């Protein structure tokens, strides 16, 4: 794995942890009523997707357990269809998909890169 991949994987991990922590103490109803939190979550998930798009194909191929295409795809949806962001989808990502992603990233990144 190339050194630059460590940088982008680290960004993915950092932002996944931040997003998970941001929503961790909120209920869905509180999230729905909190526009600031929705915008923060959209930004963090968008950033995870941007970092994922920079990871070399060889690394993506070596780690098929990570849903690269979906991660990059949600980034594209947030950026290019920003007027129709589905915050229910972002909530689902934050509350169900980020914890497994965090574990996967931690398993492939050297400890000093985490």
Residue-level pLDDT, tens digit, the chain, 114 residues: 566 899 999 999 999 999 999 998 899 999 999 999 999 999 999 999 999 999 999 999 999 999 999 999 999 888 887 788 899 999 999 999 999 999 999 999 977 755
What is the C-alpha separation between 56 and 58, in angstroms, rounded? Answer: 5
What is the C-alpha separation between 17 and 22, in angstroms, rounded? Answer: 8
Residue 3: the pLDDT is: 65
Residue 75: the pLDDT is: 92
Residue 25: the pLDDT is: 87
Helix residue ranges per DSSP H, the chain: 3-24, 28-32, 35-54, 57-62, 68-80, 87-92, 98-108
Residue 47: the pLDDT is: 97
Domain boundaries, the chain: 3-109
- In this structure, the number of other CB atoms found within 10 A of the CB of residue 86 comes to 12
Residue 111: the pLDDT is: 72
């Amino acid at each position: 794995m190339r050194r630059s991949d460590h940088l982008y994987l680290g960004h993915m991990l950092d932002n996944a942890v931040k997003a998970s922590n941001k929503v961790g103490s909120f209920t869905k109803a509180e999230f729905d009523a909190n526009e600031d939190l929705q915008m923060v979550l959209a930004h963090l998930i968008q950033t995870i997707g941007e970092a994922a798009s920079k990871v070399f194909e060889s690394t993506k191929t070596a780690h098929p357990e990570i849903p690269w295409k979906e991660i990059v795809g949600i980034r594209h949806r947030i950026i290019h269809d920003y007027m129709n962001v589905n915050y229910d989808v972002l909530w689902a990502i934050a509350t169900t998909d980020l914890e497994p992603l965090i574990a996967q990233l931690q398993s492939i990144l050297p400890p000093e890169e985490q």
